[in-house]
């Protein structure tokens, strides 16, 4: 299943500012703590993805359920990596070189490839 990415530069900057200002959450300083926070967020994303599915995989044979879970796992990882890239671009002052203030796409994985579908607000050629 594909995962839609919706990103707003203004909101992204505010989130980064809140993290840096420690006003949203207590920002971890150690790499291990940051990765643990990322892992917790990933788990929440997995749970949200399961609620979002159009098909109840519990009614599928185990091999199909496993295939759906693996596909979601890959899609979520690619989506997180893409969000990371968007935030990295903001932090490096490069966001405006590639993206409009509002950007969206759908990320889909398959056969070792990553596809960006229905991209809007991307300034470079695909």
CB 78 within 8 A of CB 106: no
Domain boundaries, the chain: 3-122
Tell me what the pLDDT averaged over the chain comes to: 86
Q: Report H helices in 53-94.
A: 62-92
> How do residues 46-84 score in pLDDT, each as one tens digit?
888 888 887 788 888 999 889 888 998 999 999 999 999
- pLDDT for residue 104 is more than 90: yes
pTM of the predicted model over 0.75: yes
Give, in order, the Cα–Cα distances in Å from 36 to each of 25, 39, 117: 14, 5, 30
Q: What share of the chain has pLDDT > 70, as a percent?
A: 94
Helix 62-92 × helix 31-52 angle, to 10°: 130
Helix 9-21 × helix 62-92 angle, to 10°: 80
Listed residue (85, 83, 80, 76) closest to 109, CA to CA: 76
CB 70 within 8 A of CB 82: no
The whole-number pLDDT of residue 126 equals 60
The whole-number pLDDT of residue 34 equals 80
């Amino acid at each position: 299943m594909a995962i839609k990415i919706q990103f707003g530069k203004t909101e992204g900057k505010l989130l980064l500012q809140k993290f840096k200002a420690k006003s949203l959450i207590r920002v971890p300083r150690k790499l291990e703590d940051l990765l643990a926070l990322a892992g917790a967020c990933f788990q929440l994303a997995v749970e949200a993805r399961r609620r979002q599915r159009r098909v109840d995989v519990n009614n599928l044979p185990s091999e199909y359920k496993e295939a759906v879970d693996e596909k979601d796992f890959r899609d979520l990882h690619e989506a997180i990596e893409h969000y990371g890239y968007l935030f990295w671009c903001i932090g490096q002052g490069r966001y405006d070189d590639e993206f409009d203030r509002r950007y969206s796409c759908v990320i889909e994985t398959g056969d070792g490839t990553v596809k960006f579908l229905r991209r809007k607000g991307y300034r470079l050629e695909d």
